[in-house]
Amino acid sequence: MLKRIAERTNRIGRHLPTSGGLTKTLQRAEGLGCETLQVFVSNPQGWADPVTRPDAAAFATGARELGISPVVVHAKYLINLASPNAEHRDRSVRTLVRELAAAGELGADLIVVHSGSHGGAGEEEGLARLVSSLKRVRELAGSNGRVPELAVENSVGAGTQLCSTFEALEEVSRRAGVGVCVDTAHAFVAGYDLSAPEGAREVAEELREVLGGRISLLHLNDARNGLGSHRDGHRRIGEGQVAEESWTEVFAGLPGVPVVMETPYGTPEVDLEQVRLVKQLAARPPSGCQTRRDEYRI
Q: Tens digit of pLDDT for each residue in 105-152?
A: 999 999 999 999 999 999 999 999 999 999 999 999 986 668 899 999
Please report the pLDDT score of residue 276 as a whole number.
98
CA distance 136 to 251: 34
- Is 27 a residue whose pLDDT tops 80? yes
Q: How many angstroms separate the Cα of 224 from the Cα of each of 56, 84, 153, 159, 195?
A: 35, 31, 19, 19, 12
CA distance 208 to 171: 15
Please report the pLDDT score of residue 72 as a whole number.
98
pLDDT bin (cut points 50, 70, 90) of residue 294 is very low
- CATH class of domain segment(s) 12-283: alpha beta
- Is 225 a residue whose pLDDT tops 70? yes
- Is 158 a residue whose pLDDT tops 90? yes
Phi, psi of 68, deg, nearest 5: -80, 120
Please report the pLDDT score of residue 224 as a whole number.
98
Q: How many angstroms separate the Cα of 281 from the Cα of each of 99, 187, 196, 297?
A: 33, 19, 14, 10
Please report the pLDDT score of residue 36 as a whole number.
98
Task: State mean pLDDT over 14-39.
Answer: 97
Please report the pLDDT score of residue 143 as a whole number.
66
Task: State mean pLDDT over 153-157.
Answer: 98
Q: pTM of the prediction?
A: 0.94
% the chain with pLDDT above 70: 93
Where are the strands (E) in 169-287, listed by range?
179-183, 215-220, 222-223, 234-235, 259-261
- Is 295 a residue whose pLDDT tops 70? no
CA distance 269 to 252: 27
CB 171 within 8 A of CB 134: no
